[in-house]
Structure 1
Amino acid sequence: MNLRDLMGGAVAAILIGAAGASAAEPTLTVAERNVADEKAVFATVESISVVPARARIGGTVISLKVREGDSVSRGQEIATIGDDKLTLQMNSLDAQIQALQAQASQAQIDYDRTSGLVERGTLPRTKLDEARTALNVAENNLRAKTAERSVVQQQFKEGQVLAPDDGRVLKKMITVGSVVLQGDPIVTVAQQHYKLRLRVPERHARFLKQGDRIRVDGAEAGDAAAKFGTIDLVYPQIEDGRVVADATVPGLGQYFVGDRLRVWISSGERPAFVIPSRFIKTEFGIDTVQLGAPGKTIAVPVQRGREHPTPDMPDGLEILSGLRNGDKLVQP
């Protein structure tokens, strides 16, 4: 193997470890393989759904316990709505219940007295039936009014506006002191789980399908390593010359809803050399790799392309020329 043969290597293949060598091994064997021809598109971070937290009763907003950007959990109290009419109704019902309790107590006393007189033969049995009926009417009126009070008490509880799901508050619609009606939205909550919404030019539509892998640059994620995700849904309608698709990428919780990211998608396959960047040594502006075996290597110049990370090779780098199938690389 001479230098000329090495420089005439094919431009297409991917580096894999001989017999599945791990990233920690100092040697690798080059083997030709097709890789995804990635294209960069823009995607926006979208919530799975944005739901409003609504008022269940009408009234005046007494307190508001969240602001834009706050995280909330399902059932958490967001705001409190008060209605002075409910307090008046409650006071009125309490007074009526006290009156009915007194009537029921008096009806019970009358029934007991009439029952004793009937047993001694002083009064006819019809009087006992009348007393029993009066007692039943008083007790039923008391139960009905108590149930009516429970309804008003439940309306008091419904003055608490609760978060419909886990997520973040996107926008609040009211301030303390605002008058709201039943069903009015108080805040909007973006559900906790985010997706990426891609808009791909229609010329790439035939390459886009459910289950395809996508890649988000590490710089976009504020991390050194790239993030990988999967396309969940490709919408069947083309909008403004673009195909819309949704993708799931783990770790999108720190993004803002509506944030735009650069995403790499596959638009077919092509052959390419991709090697871990640790096998490349740069001196005086020239990139070289070490070929041979440990202790017996030669430096061969290569032409590097763009970064091409994969889940099993996070530091993958495309090589345009300088390698061919079967070359043995030694980590410098």
Structure 2
Amino acid sequence: MSREPFAKESAMPALARLSALVLLCAASPVLAGEATIEVRPLDDVKAVFATVESVDEVLARARIGGTVSALLVDEGTQVKAGERIAAVGDPKLALTTAGIAAKLKASEAERDLAAIEHRRAQDLLAKGAATKARVEDAATRLEVANRAIAAIRAEVQVSAERSGEGAVLAPKAGRVLKVHVTEGSVVLPGETIATIAAENYVLRLALPERHARFIKQGDSVEVGARALGAADAALRPGTVRQVYPRIEDGRVFADVAVEGLDSFFVGERVPVHISTGKRPAIIVPREAISRRMGVDLVTVKGVGAVAVQLGAPTADGIEVMSGLKSGDVVTW
């Protein structure tokens, strides 16, 4: 007699009991933890737009009047401090320099004659044919001629310096924002040739004045992706470096320091997330939230599943806008 059918019949009840145990374990929730809900202060973060601005905008000006003979930069050009960006020429300077040079030669000729007269008077005095007064007079004329030459040489240096001032130099390193003239333009002394943005860029915020009492120097902010860049770029940390003590048109202005602004356009808008005060909030761990049929649920001890309305995520959980109260114990 075969025993195989009996073996199969004996195994079936054991298999059925194992399956039932597995189903029971799956249906029974396993509590991984619990947390007591408390209302706590949370930064009220606002998303605003800031504009990329230069800390300093400097003006490259013409030092002499004349005609722009050369223009070496254009909008967007990177320049170094002291770099030549334009040249202003004045034909009168060349004529003045030539006149001073001719005057110098005439004074040098008068000095040579005075030197000859002085030596002659000294020779005659040695022979007894001239008086000491004549020698002193000749020495005085020679001294006057030498001083006149020194004065004219100083005028030559001044003229050369004025000619060199025709070169318009960049006062600081940075990027040229605007060129105000073209080649051939007639400019006056002190007229602006170009506007240069210094290399140190910041983000400038303009917040409603009701937020003025909340923002202060040293506050941390988060800077989003540039408007012209990738939309999924990660937030970057920034720091409020200066809050301006004046409110204009109902807005308070502040500068935010953040790395990596060198390639941005001046005036480009960038989203910034900044705290504008504190507000009470309820935060629950992410693990305590489940989603069923499009509804967010949280299990409250002694109550069961409770539908909640979620807010923004935080560093240690997710804010719950409604559905829970202080003192509730959530489990998961």
Q: Give your verdict on TM over 0.5.
A: yes
Partner of 2:54: 47
Deviations 1:274-317 (A, max 9, x none): 89xxxxxxxxx9xxxxxxxxxxxxxxxxx997566xxxxxxx68
1:211-226 to structure 2, matched below 5 A, reads: 211-218=218-225, 222=229, 224-226=233-235
Of 246, 256, 259, the residue aligned with 1:247 is: 256
Q: Which deviates further from its counterpart, 241-250 or 84-93?
A: 241-250
Deviations 1:117-160 (A, max 9, x none): 21221211111011101101111111111111111111001001
| C-alpha distance in 1 between matches for 2:181 and 2:221 | 40
1:260-275 to structure 2, matched below 5 A, reads: 260-269=269-278, 272=283
| Counterpart amino acid of residue 84 in structure 1 | P
Change (3 A) 1:318 1:56: farther
Deviations 1:152-173 (A, max 9, x none): 1110010011111111111111
Deviations 1:11-30 (A, max 9, x none): 789xxxxxxxxxxxxxxxxx
Partner of 1:30: none
1:80 aligned onto 2:107:
no
1:219-238 to structure 2, matched below 5 A, reads: 222=229, 224-238=233-247
| C-alpha distance in 2 between matches for 1:123 and 1:274 | 117
| Counterpart amino acid of residue 92 in structure 1 | G
Deviations 1:198-256 (A, max 9, x none): 11233433321221111102465847442212112223443343322222222212111
Contact 1:220 1:261 in 2 (8 A): yes
Point out where structure 1 has 5 or more consecutive residues left out of the alignment. Answer: 14-32, 276-284, 286-302, 309-315, 328-332
Partner of 2:110: 103
1:165-176 to structure 2, matched below 5 A, reads: 165-176=172-183
| Counterpart amino acid of residue 172 in structure 1 | V
Partner of 1:120: 127
Contact 1:305 1:317 in 2 (8 A): no
Of 184, 191, 198, the residue aligned with 2:205 is: 198
| C-alpha distance in 2 between matches for 1:274 and 1:261 | 31
1:157 aligned onto 2:159:
no
| Counterpart amino acid of residue 244 in structure 1 | F
Contact 2:225 2:271 in 1 (8 A): no
Q: TM-score, normalised by structure 2?
A: 0.72
Q: TM-score, normalised by structure 1?
A: 0.72
Contact 2:58 2:197 in 1 (8 A): yes
Q: Which deviates further from its counterpart, 165-174 or 242-251?
A: 242-251
Q: Which deviates further from its counterpart, 234-243 or 157-166?
A: 234-243
Contact 2:217 2:243 in 1 (8 A): yes
Partner of 1:21: none
Residue 194 of structure 1 deviates from its aligned partner by 1.4
| C-alpha distance in 1 between matches for 2:270 and 2:30 | 43
How many correspondences in the alignment?
278
Residue 3 of structure 1 deviates from its aligned partner by 4.8
Q: Which deviates further from its counterpart, 261-270 or 171-180?
A: 261-270
| Counterpart amino acid of residue 71 in structure 2 | L
Point out where structure 2 has 5 or more consecutive residues left out of the alignment. Answer: 1-27, 287-293, 295-308, 321-328
Identity of aligned residues (%): 44
Of 122, 136, 139, the residue aligned with 2:143 is: 136
